[in-house]
Structure 1
Amino acid sequence: MLRQRIITALLLLAVLLPALFYSDTRPFTALSLLLVMTGAWEWARLNGCRPGVSLALGLLLGLAMALFWFLGGLDRSWRVGWIVVGLLWVALAFGMLARGVAGWSNWPFLPRLWVGLFLICCAWLALVQARQLGLAFLLSVLMLVWMADVAAYFGGKAFGRRKLAPSVSPAKSWEGAISGLIGVCLLAACWLWADAGGLGDRSSLYGRLWQMGPLWAAVSLFFLVAMSVVGDLLESLVKRSAGVKDSSQLLPGHGGVLDRVDALLPVLPLAMMLVSL
């Protein structure tokens, strides 16, 4: 399993990193559009759609987003849209976690299917526009999620006692979540220190939030870390309701695309919202 995970990760990095660091954002946009299509396919499957219908939805959503790109949608400001998406994510966090695993299947089929597809598209739009704001900005958002996840894993292993959401994700603990927050705060402090030393251009998420005020930066980081945990929990909730361990087996050793980006789905649009206010 470990060997599979390493090989898959190396292959993904070999494809993603050149596109990510290339000065023209179009290759990265096109490559990330494939993630939208596979994520939509997985989401349809998790919600009980037949294989053919799931594949068709993934392809149609990819074509719709490609048309959106062609018509200039990626170059427009979506400031109000990010606020709406942010409120939707907060509402889903309270609603879905309150109703639990059993309650998810009682939600009407079409709303839960299409809201999920809509949020996947919003995450893609936020991903692309974050790259347009600068490589440092996108990397800082990605590293926030990765740091929160890694620090939570090790903090939970070392100190975990009180379960965060035992019916949804038994392995998560409050101690792990707090460790994730501490890790992100340390990351932000190091990034700001590097910026102050002339090693950065202050265009990162942390630099932009700090320029809006230390209190705003602290509250924003807390909110983003909390929502990264929410994204992970909500995908776990949906998978438990569907009776599956992974969203798919598309990435050997890693599960599916949604398994890898679940925490990013809320964080990307919320990061765009916070720096746009």
Structure 2
Amino acid sequence: MLKQRIITALLLLAVFLPVLFYPSIEPFGAFTLVLIAAAGWEWARINGCGPTRSVAAGLALAVALLVFWLLGGVERSWRELWAAVAVVWVVLAAIMLRRGVEAYGRRPQLLRLWLGLLLIACAWLALVQARILGLGFLLSVLLLVWMADIAAYFGGKRFGRRKLAPAISPGKSWEGAVSGLIGVFVLAGVWLWLTRAGWTSPDHLYAYLWHLGPWVAVPALAGLCAMSVCGDLIESLVKRAAGVKDSSQLLPGHGGVLDRVDALLPVLPLAMMLVTF
């Protein structure tokens, strides 16, 4: 399993890093569009669609976003959309995590399917627009989510006692969540220090938030960290309702695309909201 995980990660990085650092946005947008199509297929599968409908959902999502891109939608400002999506994610997290797995399964299938596909599409748009804002900005958002996850894992392994959501994800603990938050604050502090020392450019999320003042930066970072946890928990809840361990087996050793990007789905639109208002 470890060998599979390493091989898959190296292959993904071999494609992801060149398109990430490429000067123009087209290769990055195209590569992530393929991943989003796979995520749409996975979402349809774990929400009760058969093989044909699941493939159709993934392809329809990709085609719709491609047309949207070709019509210039990626270059437009979507500040009102980011605010609306942020509200939707917060409300969804509050309702779904409070009511649990059984309540989710009782929701109409079409509502679950289309709302999920819409939020996945918004995450892709936020991802591409974050890259347009600058490599430093996108990396600061990605590293926030990764740091929250890594610090929560090790903090939970070492200090975890009280379960965060035992009916949804038994491995997560409150101590792990706090460790993730501390890790994010450390990451932001180090990045800001490097910027002030002239080692990095100030085109990142932490510099923008700190410019607004610590009374904005601290709760904003805490909120982004919390929503990364919620994104992970929501996907776990949906998989439990579907009776599956992974969203798919597209990424050997890692599960599916949704398993790897679940925490990013709410964080990307929320980060775009913070920098466009």
Q: Does 1:244 align with 2:258?
A: no
Question: What is aligned with 1:182?
Answer: 182
Number of aligned pairs? Answer: 277
**Structure 1 counterpart SS, 2:171:** strand
- Residue 276 of structure 1 and its aligned partner are, at CA, apart by 1.4
**What are the superposed Cα offsets for residues 48-101 of structure 1, whole Å, 9 maximum, x if unpaired?**
100011001101110000000000000000000000000000010011111101
Question: What is aligned with 2:139?
Answer: 139
**Structure 2 counterpart SS, 1:24:** coil
Give the Cα–Cα distance (whole angstroms) in 1 for the partners of residues 57 and 20 of structure 2. 27
**What are the superposed Cα offsets for residues 149-170 of structure 1, whole Å, 9 maximum, x if unpaired?**
0000000000000000000000
Partner letter of residue 14 of structure 2? A
**Structure 2 counterpart SS, 1:164:** strand
**What are the superposed Cα offsets for residues 101-122 of structure 1, whole Å, 9 maximum, x if unpaired?**
1111101111111000000000
Partner letter of residue 122 of structure 1? C
Give the Cα–Cα distance (whole angstroms) in 1 for the partners of residues 117 and 243 of structure 2. 20
Question: What is aligned with 1:15?
Answer: 15
Give the Cα–Cα distance (whole angstroms) in 2 for the partners of residues 21 and 13 of structure 1. 12
**What are the superposed Cα offsets for residues 182-216 of structure 1, whole Å, 9 maximum, x if unpaired?**
00000000000000011122110101111111110
Question: What is aligned with 2:101?
Answer: 101
Post-superposition, which runs of at least 4 consecutive aligned residues in structure 1 deviate over 2 A?
none
Give the Cα–Cα distance (whole angstroms) in 2 for the partners of residues 68 and 230 of structure 1. 28
**What are the superposed Cα offsets for residues 224-259 of structure 1, whole Å, 9 maximum, x if unpaired?**
000000000000000000000000000000000000
Partner letter of residue 41 of structure 2? W
| 1:196-211 to 2 correspondences below 5 Å | 196-211=196-211
**Structure 1 counterpart SS, 2:136:** helix
Question: What is aligned with 1:52?
Answer: 52
Question: What is aligned with 2:26?
Answer: 26
Give the Cα–Cα distance (whole angstroms) in 2 for the partners of residues 8 and 99 of structure 1. 36
TM score, norm. by length of structure 2: 0.99
- Residue 12 of structure 1 and its aligned partner are, at CA, apart by 0.2
TM score, norm. by length of structure 1: 0.99
- C-alpha RMSD of matched pairs (Å): 0.5
Give the Cα–Cα distance (whole angstroms) in 2 for the partners of residues 184 and 38 of structure 1. 29
Give the Cα–Cα distance (whole angstroms) in 2 for the partners of residues 178 and 98 of structure 1. 20
Give the Cα–Cα distance (whole angstroms) in 1 for the partners of residues 271 and 69 of structure 2. 21
Unaligned runs of 5+ in 2: none
Partner letter of residue 102 of structure 2? A
**Structure 2 counterpart SS, 1:270:** helix
**Structure 2 counterpart SS, 1:252:** coil
Partner letter of residue 8 of structure 1? T
